[in-house]
């Protein structure tokens, strides 16, 4: 015969510590210090990344603003606005979406401490996005004729076609810079990207002004300035990755492995692109 009541299982081995259990019952998980700390961690990554995206988009906006100040620039502004919109939809947004597939692959490699895989995955994404950029660039070459074919104003279509052709170098710069961005983002190296994007924007403004107003290029100089600025951003990111001690373990030189396993990347990249598109 038992002289005392056997303690219940939850009394002997509670699933939650007493204080955490009380906090959960009172709603402390949502508004407690743990939630605030987590929010600060998210903001530490999200806010600089938002600023990076805004700075990259502002490069295109600044170019359109320069074109709008050209004498009699109504035609030029219409052409540049149409070309910029078409380039974003058919090219830049597609590459951004596809590069999002790299977040999963680089995040898994970094979490598993397979640091050498980060470089391989990044080079693989560069190769894939560069290959995707080739048919897109061919589409841009004939964009003026396509716009005329679907009934747009022939004069504006012709000028928009000229403008978007000068954005082709920027497209290939994007195919390189977006994987580099995900490479750094997976390691929470956000601030270098922020400084690079801000420096690109600040340098873009005088370069665009010179090409638009001080050369015979006119509004075409705005498109050329975008291409120059995007490649400048690539060079700054590459310089940081190659020289910084923060990327010493994850940086690796290109190998033939970048040309294998493309199917694995595409299975993640295509759905990501469709979600953003």
Distance of alpha carbon 153 from alpha carbon 79, whole angstroms = 10
Q: For the chain, which residues make up each domain, given as ranges?
A: 29-276
Of 197 and 33, the structure prediction assigns the larger pLDDT to 197
**What value does the mean pLDDT take over residues 5-30?**
49
Distance of alpha carbon 149 from alpha carbon 140, whole angstroms = 14
For the ranges 4-13, 66-75, 114-123, 242-251, the lowest mean pLDDT is seen at 4-13
pLDDT value, residue 221: 96
pLDDT in tens, 138-179: 999 999 999 999 999 999 999 999 999 999 999 999 999 999
Pair 200, 235: CB distance under 8 Å: no
The four Cα atoms 206, 182, 50, 246 give a dihedral, to 10 degrees, of: -80
Q: Which of 33-42, 68-77, 84-93, 253-262 has the highest mean pLDDT?
A: 84-93
Assigned token pair, 49: 């990344």
Sign of torsion over alpha carbons 197, 203, 205, 211: negative
pTM: 0.84
pLDDT value, residue 8: 46
CA contacts within 13 A on the Cβ side of 146: 13
pLDDT value, residue 183: 93
pLDDT band at 7 (very low <50, low <70, confident <90, very high): very low
pLDDT in tens, 108-130: 888 888 888 888 899 999 999 99
Q: How far is CA 75 from CA 83, 85, 163, 173, 192, in A?
A: 12, 16, 12, 28, 39
pLDDT in tens, 213-230: 999 999 999 999 999 999
Distance of alpha carbon 225 from alpha carbon 203, whole angstroms = 10
Q: Which residue has the tokens 């009394």?
A: 11
183 closest CA partner among 252, 270, 273, 256: 252
pLDDT value, residue 35: 81
Distance of alpha carbon 32 from alpha carbon 65, whole angstroms = 46
pLDDT in tens, 28-79: 545 568 888 888 888 887 898 899 999 999 999 999 999 999 987 799 999 9
């Amino acid at each position: 015969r038992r002289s005392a009541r056997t303690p219940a299982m939850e009394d002997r081995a509670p699933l939650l510590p007493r204080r955490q259990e009380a906090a959960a019952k009172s709603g402390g998980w949502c508004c407690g210090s743990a939630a605030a700390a987590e929010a600060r961690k998210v903001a530490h990554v999200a806010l600089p990344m938002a600023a990076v995206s805004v700075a990259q988009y502002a490069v295109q906006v600044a170019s359109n603003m320069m074109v709008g100040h050209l004498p009699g620039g109504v035609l030029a502004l219409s052409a540049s606005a149409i070309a910029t919109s078409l380039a974003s939809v058919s090219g830049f947004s597609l590459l951004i979406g596809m590069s999002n597939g790299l977040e999963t692959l680089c995040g898994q490699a970094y979490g598993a401490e397979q640091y050498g895989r980060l470089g391989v995955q990044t080079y693989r994404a560069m190769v894939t996005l560069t290959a995707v950029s080739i048919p897109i660039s061919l589409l841009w070459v004939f964009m003026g004729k396509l716009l005329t074919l679907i009934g747009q104003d022939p004069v504006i279509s012709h000028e928009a076609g000229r403008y978007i052709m000068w954005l082709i170098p920027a497209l290939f710069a994007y195919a390189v810079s977006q994987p580099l961005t995900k490479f750094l983002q997976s390691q929470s190296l956000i601030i270098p990207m922020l400084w690079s994007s801000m420096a690109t924007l600040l340098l873009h403004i005088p370069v665009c002004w010179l090409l638009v107003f001080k050369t015979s290029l006119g509004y075409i100089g705005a498109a050329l300035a975008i291409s120059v600025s995007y490649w400048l951003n690539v060079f700054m990111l590459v310089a940081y990755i190659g020289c910084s001690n923060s990327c010493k373990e994850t940086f690796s030189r290109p190998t033939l492995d970048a040309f294998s396993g493309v199917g694995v990347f595409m299975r993640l990249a295509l759905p990501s692109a469709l979600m953003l598109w």
